[in-house]
Every structure is written in structure tokens, then in C-alpha cells.
Amino acid sequence: MRWFPVALAVALAAAITFLTLPVVAIFVDSTPAQLIESLGDPGALDALWLSLRTTATALAIILVVGTPAAYLLATRSFRGKAIVVTLIELPLVLPPAAAGIALLAALGPEGLLGGAVEAAGVELTLATAGVVVALTFVASPFYVRQAMAAFASVDRTLLDASRTLGASEARGFVRVMIPAAMPGLAAGAALALGRALGEFGATLMFAGSFEGITQTVPLAIYARLGTDFEAALALSAVLVAVSAAILLSVKLVQGSEALGGAAR
Amino acid sequence: MVLRVEAHTRVGALDLGVELEVAPGECLALAGPSGAGKTSVLRVAAGLLRPRRGLVEAGLETWLDTERGIDRPPERRRCGYLFQEYALFPHLTAWQNVAYPLREVPRRERRERAVELLGRFGMGELADARPGTLSGGERQRVALARALARRPDVLLLDEPLSALDARTRAVAARELTAVLRDTEVPALLVTHDFAEAAQLGHRVGVIDAGRVVQEGTPSELAAAPRSAFVADFTGAVVLTGTAHAAAAGLTRVDLDGGGSVTSTDRAEGPVAISVYPWEIAIEPAGEARHGSTQNRLAAEVLSVTTVGNRVRLGLAAPQALAAEITLASAEALGLRAGMQVTASWKAAATRLVAR
């Protein structure tokens, strides 16, 4: 037998084991009955509900602002575009703790725009709105990057065709470009959703960890770590299940597209 | 309604300088090699490309006049644009594609109108199919129905047949000819294939490196090319006539303007005849018939153009003809303008295409 295929297989086996073992352990360590019982804790349910609300709000903001911005970047060329794209992608590589500090420095009470935020009557630090800001900050680059690639891969003559058929560019954007880029947009939205749902560091630094106000599921898991390992495990299991569901639905959407393409 | 297009601009490395006019109901075919600027002319007309200096007029409307600062956006120019790869919207069904421009039609009637338009191209039954599941010929029909849906003032066709395989192309060409015959608006078509231009266009403009180097009917261009490029590019001679079945499975074609030729192709009714100039032999007039060539036409030499080691002869027969012979033969025959000759070629070298 050749040694190289064997080496490849060994590498894959090692990767699979290492990546799946912790996930499997979450579900093996406790019985489903225990998991459900632990979720009876009102603090846990509050955290779940808060995570869903803040993630949904952040995702809505990301979609509404990110989609047109990504479209502009994908369809126009202008001086300094590479710099703009790099700036947008910066939060991708920013350590979450640094992101939290950065948000405080910008929007915190003593921050760059702290006065303006206060004058507008908005409370961000130690408030639910702050969680949304943190989630939006760390998750939006995932969507914008993917959406840019999706728009760039749509045949530009579709937009030309739309215009010669009497539709303004805005109408073509809504009726042609968004539907044609949909698989890529959906994948980007799922990535951003997953990132927002699991957000920990920036939220903790910027919004704090107050039950029912800023304590999302990842923060609640951390808070329970020292006192109630079972409860931490149960919340983790829920988070894993939701994340897996997101990943699976993206694969299904893309899989059906791929199948549709093969049937041509 | 006349379409007038003037475009002077740089497109990448190409220096485009084109001025042309198309009469109502006429089809002007711009033919030239790829990179000659053909598609850019269409894009200027449609408003998808803004030239440095240019003018686009459709009838009494001015769509573009760089000097007066007029530049209507594409959506406000009534162009029926057939894109090279058809540019059908992949997420919409055939009828939804056709209904896309029908915004003035009440929502409830749109489907009916779109299906009716598709029906005109024999596509009514595939109204609910998505473009991805259609063949090349079917996609072209959907794209044509969509381009015509808004009753455009101008038709712009970009390589309408090049995305089709050879068999589908013949059928599509016939349908397109019918559409172009029935339409009352000016049509501007671009193609890299002179035979296609000759078949679909009433007039052909040969475009090279951003300039229209010669314009005329297909046979004028083939018979009297003004440059070696046009001579080379035009390739086949195109004649027109009416075909009848003849004895022995052959077809006799009575040429428009007199004379007749025989072909081994089968056809009936109005046809275009194509012969390659290098298939045509020349002999001095009045010589007795000899050999196997079926088709013999008396002609007068109009022009003698040297193309490399060959000579392109422009001939005045009932319809203009072109023959290409070696330089040596031309010198041996002492050919010059004004001489009477007989042009002959084989029935098997005579291709027929229904018009």
C-alpha cells in the first residue's frame, strides 16, 4: 500500500476525533431527562430568550444594512475600495476581548461617541441594546464578506437585462440580484447568526453579564461553570443543537441548489 | 422611426468610432471578428455604455447626446435587447421572465399575456419551466418573447445564434428572420459570422477594430470588397432566388433578376444561395460548355482585387458575384475590369438556406 493515502486518512481521522469528541461529550455526560430538568431553571430560560431576541435583532440590522453595502462593494469599483473592504473585514480577526474594549472606547460612557449616545437617550453599557451592538459588531463582517462574494458571482448581464426591460437599478437589485445571490446570502446570514449566537467576549466586556438583561446563553454557561456544572452542560447542549441546526439548514439549502444545477 | 447611433469612445484598448443609421423595419447586421467593438455599439444604443462622445436617436426621441448633456438611463429607452447568452433570470419561470417587463399590465392579466407571447414562439406549454431546464433553442425563444414583450422601439440582437448548436441554429434563424420581417422597428444585429449577417440582415456593415469598414447588401460586399479584410471576412457569395424541385432529386433555383442555378440541396420557395468564391471557376465568354459544372452564368468583370496570392473578382451577373482564383490564373486569362467571362461552379457547391 502507498504511504501517502494512508497518511491522508490518518490525518482526517485525527481531525474528526478531535473536533467531534467534545461535542459528543456534552450529550453523553448527561441524560436527556437531566438536560430538560436543568432547563427548568428560570435563569436558563431567561438567557435563552435573551439570546434569541438579541441575535434576531442583530441579524435584522446586519441584513438591512449589510446587503446594500455588500452589493455596492461587489458591483462598483472606486479608488480605495480595497481599504474599505479591509476595514469591514477587520472585526473578523479582532480578538473578542479587544472588540469589547474597542466598543467601550467608542460608545462607552467615556468613549469617543459616548456623549452623543447619552444625548440620544440610548443606554448601551449594561443594557440589552449593548448586547445587540456587540453582536452586530462581531457578526456583520461574516455576512458582508459572504454577500459580496455572492453578488460578485451573479452574472452582471442579468442586471443589464433587467434595466433594458424597463426596471430601475433599485428594482433589479430587489427582483433579480437578491434572488440570484440568495444561496450565498443565506450562507452568509447563517454564518453571522452562528457567530452572534455564540458571542462571548465582546458582550461580556461591553454590556456586562446581568441575568435577564445582558446575560446571553454563552455568558450564562460561564456563570454556571463554578456552581452548577449540570446546568452549564444543559445550556451548552441547547446551543450546540441550535448551531448544528443552522449548519444543517445551510447545507440543505446549498445542497438543493447544487442538485438543481446538476439536473440541468 | 429611424435609429441613429454615433459612438466615439475608448473601450479598453479599442478605439471605437461608429456612425450608423437603421430605417424602420430594416435590419442592419454588423459583422466582424471578436474584439471589433460590435457589442459595444449595442451597449451604447441601450444606454449600458456611455461613450465619450456620442448620439443615440430613436425616431424623434433623443436618448443620448453628449454635447447637449442628454443621457437617458437604459430603463427609459425602449430597447428590446437580446443578449448573447440570453440573460434569462434563473430564479423565475419562463412566463415570469416574459412578464418581468409587463409592469403596465394589471397583475392578474400578466400571466395570460406572457403565456400568449410565449405561444407565438411555440413555447406556451413550457411557460412554467425554469430557464435551467430549457434547451438552448428554447431559451432563445423565451428571451425573444421577453425582449419583444414591451413593444420596443428598437431591437438590439447580440450574436442571436451563436449559443446554439448547428441543427437548432437553422430553425432559430428561420424564426428570427420571420420576427425581423414582421417587426416595424429598426433592428441592429451583431455577429462574428458573415453568412449569419447575410441571412438575417437587409444590409451588412463589416466592422473591424472599432470602425465600419464597408456597408452594403451582402452580395455587394462579397462581390466588391473594398479591402482585403472585407474580402477575407465575407467568405461566401450570397444570391437570392426561388427554389423548385427538379429532375433527379436536384433543386432548380430561379435567381431574382434572371438566370437559374442548380443545387444538390433540397428546398422549396424563397431561398438564399451561398457559394464560396473559391468554388467558382472563370473562363473567357463564349467557350463551349465542358466538364461537369452545372451552373454557368455570363458575367462582366467589375473589379480585380489582389488578396495575397489570390485574386478576388467582382462580377456583374444578374446578381453580384465574387470569384477567387490564383494570381497565376488571373494573369494567364489577362483578366481586367470590363471583360466578359463565364462563371461556373458545381451544383454540389451550391448551399441553399430557406429565407
Within 10 angstroms of residue A74's Cβ, the number of other Cβ atoms is 18
Report chain A residues whose CB lies below 8 A from the CB of B105.
Answer: none
- Residue A260: which pLDDT band, with cuts at 50, 70 and 90? very low
Mean pLDDT of chain B: 88
- Residue A1: which pLDDT band, with cuts at 50, 70 and 90? low
Please compute the mean of the pLDDT values over residues B88-92 and round it to a whole number. 94
- Asked if residue B81 lies in contact with residue B49, where contact means CB atoms within 8 angstroms, the answer is no
| The length of chain A, given as a count of residues | 264
Please compute the mean of the pLDDT values over residues B114-140 and round it to a whole number. 92
Q: 0.95 cut: is pTM over it?
A: no
A163 touches chain B (CB under 8 A): yes
- Report d(CA B179, CA B25) in Å as an integer: 10
* Cα separation of the two ends of chain A: 40
Percent of chain A at pLDDT > 70 equals 96
The distance of A183 to chain B (nearest Cα, Å) reads 11
Please compute the mean of the pLDDT values over residues A171-185 and round it to a whole number. 93
- Report d(CA B250, CA B173) in Å as an integer: 24
- Report d(CA B351, CA B191) in Å as an integer: 20
Q: What is the pLDDT of residue A257?
A: 60
Q: What is the DSSP string of chain A?
A: --HHHHHHHHHHHHHHHHHHHHHHHHHHSS-HHHHHHHTTSHHHHHHHHHHHHHHHHHHHHHHHHHHHHHHHHHH---TTHHHHHHHHHHHHHS-HHHHHHHHHHHHSTTSTTHHHHHHTT---TTSHHHHHHHHHHHHHHHHHHHHHHHHHTS-HHHHHHHHHTT--HHHHIIIIIHHHTHHHHHHHHHHHHHHHHH--HHHHHHH---TTTT--HHHHHHHHTTT-HHHHHHHHHHHHHHHHHHHHHHHHHHHHHHHHHHT-
Give the least confident one: A25-34, A97-106, B192-201: A25-34
Q: Which residue has the higher pLDDT, B318 or B52?
A: B52
Q: What is the pLDDT of residue A262?
A: 37
Please compute the mean of the pLDDT values over residues A224-236 and round it to a whole number. 85
Q: Which residue has the higher pLDDT, B267 or A263?
A: B267
Most confident of A53-67, B211-225, B272-286: A53-67
Instruction: Name which of B72, B91, B150 to mutate to probe chain A: the one with the most chain A Cβ atoms within 10 A of its Cβ.
Output: B91
CA atoms in the 13 A half-sphere facing the CB of B343 = 32
Please compute the mean of the pLDDT values over residues B230-246 and round it to a whole number. 81
Q: Which residue has the higher pLDDT, A211 or B227?
A: A211
Percent of chain A at pLDDT > 90 equals 56
Whether the pLDDT of residue B273 is over 80: the answer is yes
Q: What is the pLDDT of residue A122?
A: 82
A164 touches chain B (CB under 8 A): yes
Mean pLDDT of chain A: 88
- Asked if residue B330 lies in contact with residue B244, where contact means CB atoms within 8 angstroms, the answer is no
Residue B51: exposed, middle, or buried by beta-carbon count in 10 A (0-12, 13-18, 19+)?
buried
Q: What is the pLDDT of residue B97?
A: 96
Q: What is the DSSP string of B32-80?
A: --TTSSHHHHHHHHHTSS--SEEEEEETTEEEEETTTTEE--GGGS-EE
**Nearest residue of B to residue A176, measured between CA atoms:** B89
Most confident of A107-121, B22-36, B262-276: B22-36
Place of cell 459588531: A137
Residue of A155, A157, A167 lying closest to B75 (CB–CB):
A167
Whether the pLDDT of residue A263 is over 70: the answer is no
Torsion angle of the four alpha carbons A12, A18, A24, A30, in this order, in degrees rounded to the nearest 10: 160
Please compute the mean of the pLDDT values over residues B11-35 and round it to a whole number. 93
The distance of A147 to chain B (nearest Cα, Å) reads 18
- Cα B149 to Cα B16, B79, B101, B129, distances in angstroms: 31, 11, 7, 18
- Condensed to tens digits (0 to 9), the pLDDT of residues A140-149 reads 999 999 999 9
Q: What is the pLDDT of residue B247?
A: 86
Residue of A158, A164, A166 lying closest to B89 (CB–CB):
A158
Whether the pLDDT of residue A50 is over 90: the answer is yes
The distance of B79 to chain A (nearest Cα, Å) reads 6
Whether the pLDDT of residue B14 is over 80: the answer is yes
Q: From the centroid of its chain, how far is CA B186?
A: 14
Instruction: Name which of A164, A173, A177, A185 to mutate to probe chain B: the one with the most chain B Cβ atoms within 10 A of its Cβ.
Output: A164
**B interface toward A at CB cutoff 8 Å?**
46-48, 73-81, 83, 85, 87-92, 100-101, 103, 132-133, 146, 149-150, 156
- Condensed to tens digits (0 to 9), the pLDDT of residues B143-169 reads 999 999 989 999 999 999 888 887 788
Inter-chain CB proximity A182 and B91 less than 8 Å = yes
Q: What is the pLDDT of residue A36?
A: 77
Residue of B75, B85, B92 lying closest to A166 (CB–CB):
B75
Whether the pLDDT of residue A100 is over 50: the answer is yes
Whether the pLDDT of residue A258 is over 60: the answer is no
- Residue A242: which pLDDT band, with cuts at 50, 70 and 90? confident
Report chain B residues whose CB lies below 8 A from the CB of A264.
Answer: 132-133
Q: What is the pLDDT of residue B291?
A: 74
A window 220-259, beta carbon within 8 A of B: none
Report chain A residues whose CB lies below 8 A from the CB of B156.
Answer: 164
- Asked if residue A228 lies in contact with residue A44, where contact means CB atoms within 8 angstroms, the answer is no
Whether the pLDDT of residue B79 is over 80: the answer is yes
Place of cell 437604459: B74
Q: What is the pLDDT of residue A261?
A: 41
A157 touches chain B (CB under 8 A): yes
- Cα A78 to Cα A73, A82, B52, distances in angstroms: 9, 9, 19
- Strands B295-307 and B310-316 turn out to be antiparallel
- Report d(CA A185, CA A187) in Å as an integer: 5
**Nearest residue of B to residue A161, measured between CA atoms:** B87
**Nearest residue of B to residue A169, measured between CA atoms:** B75
- Condensed to tens digits (0 to 9), the pLDDT of residues A3-25 reads 999 999 999 999 999 999 988 88
- Asked if residue B177 lies in contact with residue B169, where contact means CB atoms within 8 angstroms, the answer is no
Report chain B residues whose CB lies below 8 A from the CB of A260.
Answer: 132
ipTM: 0.77
List Cβ neighbours of A187 (8 Å cut-off, separation of 6 or more): A146, A150, A250, A253, A254
A65 touches chain B (CB under 8 A): no
| Eight-state DSSP code of residue B83 | -
Most confident of A259-263, B43-47, B344-348: B43-47
Whether the pLDDT of residue A220 is over 50: the answer is yes
Report chain A residues whose CB lies below 8 A from the CB of B73.
Answer: 163, 168
